[in-house]
Amino acid sequence: MTFSSLSPVDRAFLAIESRASGPRIAAVGRAIGLAGVVLPLFLIGLLKFTQFELEALRPLITATPWLSWLYSVFGETGTTALLGVVEIVTAALLVLSIRSPRAGIIGGALAALTFATTVSIMLAVPIWEDVIGGFPWINATGQFLLKDIALLGLSLAVFGDSLTRLRIASTRN
């Protein structure tokens, strides 16, 4: 297929690609995606050490059978502190994943577990706004939790990319 046989839209796309290569754009996207996972984990992890976050999490944790046991084992303060430590450590490992595939494997797995857990809360608490007709109108809790689906996907991408990088590095040695 020659350039002249391409549609005008395809020619326009190729003109963009000639100025900023696909791999370069993808690398920028990966960096932004990583920052989009690290920043919420770190900042919300810090927030876990406040009374504000303890109170915000209470209805979510108590309404979720697979999480509510944490309160009986660690108490409310201990549970939120544990979550905060895990989130901050995970954020640090994800930053280190840029240079270390091992950090990426551990950080990606911890982040995926964290976001899979928060996404699962949507199965236990109401996320549809009944006042305006329910589904598909999502309430504030649903809005808060729904974004974690994307963060789960990015975490799995870091995990998978890190596994690949470690395998490639091990075959070079």
Q: Is residue 9 part of a domain?
A: no
Q: Is residue 2 part of a domain?
A: no
Instruction: Give dist(CA 52, CA 54) in Å, integer.
Output: 6
Evaluate the CA torsion angle 126, 132, 134, 135 in order and state its sign. negative
Q: Is residue 116 part of a domain?
A: yes
pLDDT higher than threshold 80 for residue 18: no
Number of domains in the chain: 1
Confidence of residue 6 (pLDDT cuts 50, 70, 90): confident
Query: What is the residue range of 36's domain?
Result: 17-172
Residue 142 in tokens: 């649903």
Residue pLDDT, tens place only, 80-137: 999 999 999 999 999 999 999 999 999 999 999 999 999 999 999 998 998 998 888 9
Residues 4-30 have a mean pLDDT of 84
Q: Which of 73, 76, 72 is nearest to 84 (CA)?
A: 76
Q: How far is CA 80 from CA 31, 37, 85, in A?
A: 29, 19, 9
pLDDT of residue 1: 63
Kindly report the pTM of this predicted structure: 0.86
Residues 145-163 have a mean pLDDT of 96
